[in-house]
Amino acid sequence: MARVFIDGFESGGYDLWEERSGSPAVQAISSGMDGVYQLYLGYQGGHYVRKLLPPAAEYWVAFRWICMGGSSDYVFTFLDPDGTVLGCLKADTGVFTAVRGSSTLLASGTTSASGSTPFKLEIHYKPHATAGVFQVKVNGVMEIDFTGNTGTTANIGKIMLGWTSDFNGEGKWDNIIVDDAEWVGDTMIQARVVNGAGDSTQWTPSTGANYACVDEKPPSDTDYNRGDADGELDLFAVGNLTGNPETIKCVQVQARCKKEGAPPAYLKMAVKTGGAVYLTSDVGTKLGLMLSRYGVWQLNPNTGVAWQPSDALQIGCKVVA
């Protein structure tokens, strides 16, 4: 395995994060951030977002962050599947600190954690009572390298941006990347938006062409496509990557969806490449509630090797009864 989840907030929303509090806001990027959008969390009122992850003994994460708060900000938090805080990266008394639980200091860095310049932060965290790891890189340089008691020995099941109480979580975040095997490194996220119909148009558009109902950014729920029968597949063309990427670490397909009745009960995210369609496992939906769902392909499923910029690609969804 490798990449597990990515989010640059380039959809114009944050609803890939299943748990939220306060008033998170997606806004135009600040200087030094990537893409078009970033996430802002305020300083008063307990603003945060949480992402559910497959439970794992350790994770590597990377993200961009701009300090907006005071002297004790929670920058990134790891939780167990039940929501208990395992460990945190904080910006405390002007420097980055590794913390066990929510308050026990493990180690401090030396780089100033204040100012309005974005930091590229990477964390390798393994919660364990004796053989734990808490490593932090700031702009590619190891800042904190702690081993030992990093928290209750438990699987990581959630990550959190921001904090649960007043005055402790203000900041701006971008390009969240989660990996279960290695350091993320110098990586960026590019969002490709639907720009045409693909080879299968089996869902019913609310109006006009199917692709024109799902090409808005930020997303709009006023037009949509509807799949009513088991096996119906909608595919869409997407634009090419820009620049000259050296490697492509994964392709993540994201769709905004809700359930209106039964059947159908599920979706499968889809890619078409090399003339064949490849599907994720079933992705759950909720009755009457519009949510974003996603699927990740680490490798090109047609070739079994890393994606190439020249690979032909269509993306879409399939109805599962």
- End residue of a domain, out of 155, 179, 203: 179
Same domain, yes or no: 162 and 245: no
Same domain, yes or no: 81 and 129: yes
HEC per residue, 219-249: CCCCCCEECCCCCCEEEEEECCCCCCCCCEC
pTM, to two decimals? 0.93
Same domain, yes or no: 229 and 263: yes
- Give a yes or no: residue 8 inside a domain: yes
Question: What separation in angstroms does the CA of 149 have from each of 86, 100, 129, 266?
Answer: 11, 8, 4, 41
Map tokens 């078409």 to a residue: 272
Among the ranges given (9-13, 164-168, 260-264), the one the predictor scored with the smallest mean pLDDT: 260-264
Alpha carbon distance 122, 236 (integer Å): 34
Asked whether the beta carbons of 19 and 117 are under 8 A apart, the reply is no
The pairing of strands 72-79 and 194-201 is unpaired
What are the tens digits of pLDDT across the range 123-147?
999 999 999 999 999 999 999 999 9
Output 264 or 282, whichever has higher pLDDT: 282
Q: Which of 131, 109, 132, 249 is nearest to 182 (CA)?
A: 249
- Give a yes or no: residue 233 inside a domain: yes
Same domain, yes or no: 158 and 220: no
Same domain, yes or no: 72 and 170: yes
Which residue range forms the structural domain that includes residue 44?
Answer: 3-179
- Give a yes or no: residue 189 inside a domain: no
- End residue of a domain, out of 124, 156, 179: 179
Kindly report the backbone phi and psi dihedral angles of residue 143, in degrees, each rounded to the nearest multiple of 5, phi listed first. -105, -40
- Give a yes or no: residue 185 inside a domain: no
Same domain, yes or no: 107 and 11: yes
Among the ranges given (88-97, 153-162, 165-174), the one the predictor scored with the smallest mean pLDDT: 165-174
Domains contained in the chain, number: 2
- End residue of a domain, out of 120, 153, 179: 179
Question: Which residues make beta-bridge pairs with 283?
Answer: 267
- Give a yes or no: residue 187 inside a domain: no
Query: Following DSSP, what letter does each residue of 124-136 receive, concatenated?
Result: EEE--TTTEEEEE
Same domain, yes or no: 313 and 242: yes
- Give a yes or no: residue 188 inside a domain: no
pLDDT at residue 263, as a whole number = 67
Same domain, yes or no: 65 and 96: yes
Same domain, yes or no: 162 and 216: no
Asked whether the beta carbons of 282 and 267 are under 8 A apart, the reply is yes
Same domain, yes or no: 38 and 170: yes
Average pLDDT over residues 81-110: 95
Same domain, yes or no: 235 and 300: yes
Share of the chain above pLDDT 90, in %: 76
Same domain, yes or no: 15 and 108: yes
pLDDT at residue 1, as a whole number = 66
- Give a yes or no: residue 128 inside a domain: yes
3-state secondary structure of 163: coil
What are the tens digits of pLDDT across the range 189-222?
999 999 999 999 999 999 999 999 999 888 888 9
Q: Which of 250, 316, 320 is nearest to 277 (CA)?
A: 316
For residue 261, what is the domain's CATH number?
2.60.120
- Give a yes or no: residue 184 inside a domain: no
Map tokens 């969806």 to a residue: 257
pLDDT at residue 290, as a whole number = 84
For residue 25, what is the domain's CATH number?
2.60.120.200
Output 83 or 45, whichever has higher pLDDT: 83
What are the tens digits of pLDDT across the range 300-313?
999 999 999 999 99
Q: Which of 143, 119, 142, 145 is nearest to 132 (CA)?
A: 145
